Structure 1
Amino acid sequence: MLRLSRKSSWWAALGVILAIPEALAHSQGLTAGPPSGAPEAGVRMVAEGSITLDGRLDEPGWAHAPAIDLIQQDPHPGAPTPFRTEIRLLADGKHLYLGVTCVDPDPGRLSLHSLARDSDQTHDDHLTIVLDPFDSQRLGYVFQVNAGGDRTDGLISPASSLPNYDWDGIWNAKVRRTADGWVAEIEIDTQSLQFPHGVDRWRMNVQRYVPREQLSLQWAGITLDANIFDLSRMGTLTGVATLQQGHGLDVQPYVLLRQDSLRGNTAAQVGGDLQYNVTPSLAAILTVNPDFAEAEADTRQVNLTPYSLFYPEKRRFFSEGSNLFAFGAGLADNDTFLPFYSRRVGLVNGQPVRVDGGIKLLGTAGPWSIGMLNVETGRSSVSGPTNLFAGRLMYDVNQHLRLGTLLTRGDPTGQSRNQFAGVDAIWHTASFRGDKNLTLSGWAARSSDPLPGDHSGWGLHAEYPNDLWSGFASFNVFGDALDPALGFLPRPGTRQYDVYLDYRPRPTSPALNWVRQFFYQLEVLQVDDLHGVTQTRRIFTAPFNVDAQSGEHYEFDWIPEYEALTAPFEIAPGVTLPVG
């Protein structure tokens, strides 16, 4: 069994940062190429500083910029629409610019619900830009802006069908309302992206959503089975070879002063972050005495179960590159199991613990993707200083198959020398039976600690996310002694089954012309202990579930649930539910 001291693990982390780029420098990139019929667009270079971000698109560069048009994707793929959308593309070496003109025949009916940063734009008129600079078809960036100028961004990984919106990139957008719609001028700073130097081809897709019409327009993937976050259905962006990441060094120091007027005490704290691009596609990030005061507060949750609640990571140092640590497929969508959960770092028994410093390595090299984290935490109420390590390595066998491994070492409580190792495989295609989506995945893992019992776990997942028929099936087994000390596993010692089926016809009968789409849904979730005794069963059915053409939604659900308590549960102070 491999055991690393705290000092040696720091040297190992630094050694990896220096050795991996050299070892993989001659790896050949995975160039799967765009799918047949994928659109292509070029970027026009302009002088730095020649674009003023004001939402007007009146600089000379915009008049000569290459333009692309979005095409209706839903509900009638390829059909003409009055919501014409034109996108022009520019770059100045340090920024990628998109000038988007969104025509609206009735701009007074634009839908806006929030102007706050990182708010949910699902029901707003908005644009979504997806970039895959490495043409990996696995990892990508998401940028969204609504008609009011609110910005949201995130990271895409193969482990989840939805982006992780807790990441914050360096970019800006200005939106201007016009008499015939709205205009967005978007500036993406290349310092917030990782991309291969000198490569003249990225993958990109753009979507516009009009909520009052439930209308989606896209640049690529013009089929009802397409999803804007599916990186295998992207267009090609050329002319990006001259984009740079600056000098590859970004330093963000801080000085924090605290004064207690009652006691007359004054304290100072100095720290900061340093990011260095070891290569254009591999970044090392160092933090010393990080201050997380600016991190977004958690959303309040009420827990009426005996199991732990999941809270997303909000701290920038830990959220940066979080898609590189995603494990398996489907596990993160319902918070079943995360073998690496960065919220464990800096928190012991619900109390914050000082993070003295940390170092991360994030990026890609050819078909390899790398994510490594080494952190030193201070003393807590139950232990002294603790070293924590997580490493993730993935290899793209081809355009469909990705293999990976995840290792963690350390226990935030300092009570054990916990180690965890897992492997996973994900296979995805967007051309099953012609143009259908299909994902298959599996994982296996084991933890090491002195507790008796089964320290292993494994699972299988299949997903068929398409328009007419959609569904998934997953089966996961978690040993009673499986203990990822740096992970999130609320229910060890269980077998978990989850099957979902959704039939979604779009009627063509004149009598049903008010209906956009029916949804007939069935999901069965069951959790058994390792002896086959059922602890939880939930059956979700939607015998009547309708989206109307006018935007209304009508739904009738029947959801019987069963829960068996294996131990007394105090649901509130002084209120304990008995076993049964």
Structure 2
Amino acid sequence: IGDEDSFEVILDTFGDRRNGFEFATNPAGAHADQQVTNEGKDTNVSWDAVWFVKTAIVRDGWTVEMAIPFRSLRFEVGGPAWGVNFGRHLRRKNEVDYWAPVPRAYTLARVSLAGTIDGLTEAQPGRNLQVKPFLLGSSVRPTGGTAFDHSLDAGIDLKYGVTPALTLDITGRPDFAQAEADEQTVNLTQFSQFFPEKRGFFLENAGLFYVGDAARNNRINPTPSPDEDLLLFFSRRIGLSPSGSPIPIAAGARLTGRAAGFTVGALNVQTERSGATLPTNYTMLRARRNIRGASDIGALFMSRQSTTGSGDWNRVYGVDANIRLPGNIDWSSYVVNSATPGVRGATGAWRTSLNHEGDYFHGKIGAMELGRDFRDDMGYYRRVGARKWLLDTGIRPRSAAMKAKGIRELHPHLTWNYYTNPSGRMIAKSLHSGFSFFFNNGA
């Protein structure tokens, strides 16, 4: 679904005013869905639910009817009232309307502004069990040869709703052949490229494992990108080499959802030997507790452990907080430390930022530091031994005079990043400034 007429709905099934399931369609009846975590700090567009939609184009517009089975959602039976909001994009007017009002600085993902739907206390998700076995065989004879080389491979993926709010995923020798391929790009930077996760086993509720502060919400592309300097948990470190070549996974399990008032995520995966890569076990534990409205605190623990007895391991552990302050100001911070055999010194990392999103003004200030000896074998980061200062600000003026001239909005903006080493000497800096025009016709 692109820049055309569309209709979307978001369901906050836990009533926590921060997470939800979003479904969208257009007059042609296309399907689009995603999981929203922490009001858009993480959006999982690769999530694929089972639901149905029927549309009809009529004389004075178009109609839509959606059927979303309870079994496709995650919720607590008899829990709090759900949050709900609806949005409609009218392309001919370049207009977005919401059932529960949402300021133009935000999108439907701002679940704290959603309305409420009552009367679902008797809803039952039913038995949620999905089993996907696979069997792959081949028989090859070289040209001119007389003997065949035979191979046989089998595996299974299982998804089970332990409770209506907890989902267990189990995999044995998974086949990721159907995963979408990475886009081919040319890397002209000094850093390794970031490619998003597309393997099904790692996708559902992937936002539960996210730690940090999302990029500024851009209304042209509302999906935030990971923090450019440190993504603490990056699932592509599991079962893939640095070049993207597959490393066989023997078995894995994930438990994600809500329990005892906490949002929890647990993952354990065992990989096999592949060339010079030794068999390795990966563990990620994440817990988050909602406090005072739209705020939360959390903790994480990650471990990469060679299972050959070689003593090769790496651990990362820490705490984080996301606090909603008055005036649409969000404070986001985390502190983590790493442990690796034989490594001592500056093994920690931290980040803090203040962010304000308003209809007219937006701004973010922040700082972060990665110690010289920090190491995260399950994360994505670009440099260590560095401190970063950041500023991102801009305005979005609108006026009747501009509208009369065909201009809907102006957006002058500035982004500044400044890097130093621990002693304060500058090692890198970047400055981006821009002046964007948004016209009444949507251009």
Which of these two proteins has the greater Rg computed from alpha carbons?
1
Q: Given the alignment, which residue of 433, 439, 442 partners 1:548?
A: 439
Contact 1:500 1:523 in 2 (8 A): yes
Shift of 1:247: 1.9
The 5 A counterparts of 1:277-292 are 277-292=161-176
Of 401, 416, 422, which aligns to 2:295?
Answer: 401
Cα distance in 2 for partners of 1:186, 1:161 equals 26
2:188 to 297, 300, 304: 304
- Distance in 1 (CA, whole Å) between partners of 2:441 and 2:19 is 36
Compute the displacement of 1:160 (Å): 4.9
Return the TM-score normalized by structure 2. Answer: 0.90
The yes-or-no answer on 1:465 pairing with 2:357 is yes
Counterpart amino acid of residue 321 in structure 2: A
CA contact (8 A) 2:42 2:207 kept: no
Distance 1:428 1:165 in 2: 25
> Deviation at 1:144?
2.0
User: Given the superposition, is the C-alpha separation of residues 205 and 261 from structure 1 closer, same or farther in structure 2, using an over 3 Å criterion?
Assistant: farther
Pair 264,368 (structure 1): closer, same or farther in 2 beyond 3 Å = same
| Distance apart, 1:372 and its partner CA | 0.4
The answer on whether the counterparts of 1:389 and 1:408 sit within 8 Å (CA) in structure 2 is yes
1:442 to 333, 346, 354: 333
Q: Secondary structure at the match of 1:208?
A: strand
1:424 alignment partner, one of 291, 306, 320? 320
The one-letter code of the counterpart of 1:445 is V
Residue 418 of structure 1: SS of its match in structure 2?
Answer: strand
Name the structure 2 match of 1:327: 211
Structure 2 CA distance for partners of 1:546 and 1:383, relative to 1, 3 Å? closer
- Render the CA deviation track for 1:192-231: whole Å, top value 9, x for unaligned: 3210013362111111112332200111124434431111
Aligned residue number for residue 76 of structure 1: none
Q: 1:366 to 1:125 in 2, by over 3 A?
A: farther
User: How many Å separate the matches in 2 of 1:396 and 1:501?
Assistant: 29
Aligned to 1:295: 179
Whether the 8 Å CA contact 1:142–1:163 is kept in 2: the answer is no
Aligned-pair CA distance for 1:512: 4.9
Distance 2:158 2:42 in 1: 29
**CA distance in 2 between partners of 1:382 and 1:160 (Å):** 40
Work out which of the residue numbers 78, 94, 100 in structure 2 matches 1:198.
78
Partner of 1:514: 406
Asked if 2 retains the 8 angstrom alpha-carbon contact of 1:382 and 1:413, the reply is: no
Query: Which of 142, 160, 173 is equivalent to 1:276?
Result: 160
Deviation string 1:72-131 (CA, Å, 9 cap, x unpaired) is: xxxxxxxxxxxxxxxxxxxxxxxxxxxxxxxxxxxxxxxxxxxxxxxxx34122222211
Match of 2:55 among 161, 175, 180: 175
Which residue does the alignment assign to 1:364? 258
Structure 1 counterpart of 2:317, which letter? Answer: A
Q: Is the 8 A contact 1:527 1:535 kept in 2?
A: yes
1:345 to 238, 260, 269: 238
Q: How does 1:15-164 map to 2 (within 5 A)?
A: 121-158=1-38, 160-161=40-41, 163-164=43-44
Equivalent residue for 2:220?
A: none
Instruction: Supply the AA of the counterpart residue of 1:303.
Output: N
SS in 2 for 1:410: strand
Asked if 1:499 is matched to 2:391, the reply is yes
**Taking every aligned residue pair, what percent have the same amino acid on both sides?**
29
Give per-residue Cα distances to partners, 1:505-533, cap 9 Å, x unaligned. 11133795422112121221222232333
Residue 169 of structure 1 deviates from its aligned partner by 1.9
TM-score, normalised to structure 1, is 0.69
- Distance of aligned partners of 1:296 and 1:412 in 2 relative to their CA distance in 1, 3 Å threshold: farther
Q: Which residue of 2 aligns with 1:384?
A: 278
How far apart, in 2, do the equivalents of 1:289 and 1:174 lie?
38
Q: Secondary structure of 1:409's match?
A: strand
* Structure 2 CA distance for aligned equivalents of residues 129 and 412 of structure 1: 45
Conservation of the 8 A alpha-carbon contact between 1:402 and 1:426? yes
**3-state SS in 2 of match to 1:300:** coil
CA gap 1:455/1:507 in 2 versus in 1, 3 angstroms? same
Residue equivalent to 1:51:
none
How far apart are 1:458 and its partner, in Å? 0.6
Once residues 308 and 273 of structure 1 are traced to their aligned partners in structure 2, the CA distance between those partners, rounded to angstroms, is 31
Distance in 2 of aligned mates of 1:274 and 1:511: 54
- In structure 2, give the amino acid aligned to 1:524: W
State the distance in 1 between where 2:306 and 2:47 align: 24
Residue 221 (1) aligns with residue 101 (2) = yes
How many residues were matched structurally? Answer: 426
For 2:92, what is the secondary structure of its paired residue?
helix
Of 206, 209, 227, the match for 2:89: 209
Q: CA deviation at 1:318?
A: 0.4
**Whole-angstrom distance in 1 between the partners of 2:96 and 2:260:** 34
Q: Distance in 2 between matches of 1:214 and 1:312?
A: 30
Assess, with a 3 A threshold, how the Cα gap between structure 1 residues 264 and 477 changes in structure 2: closer, same or farther: same
Structure 1 unaligned spans of 5+: 1-120, 553-580
Q: Which residue of 2 aligns with 1:240?
A: 120
Determine the C-alpha separation between the residues in 2 that align with 1:400 and 1:158.
8
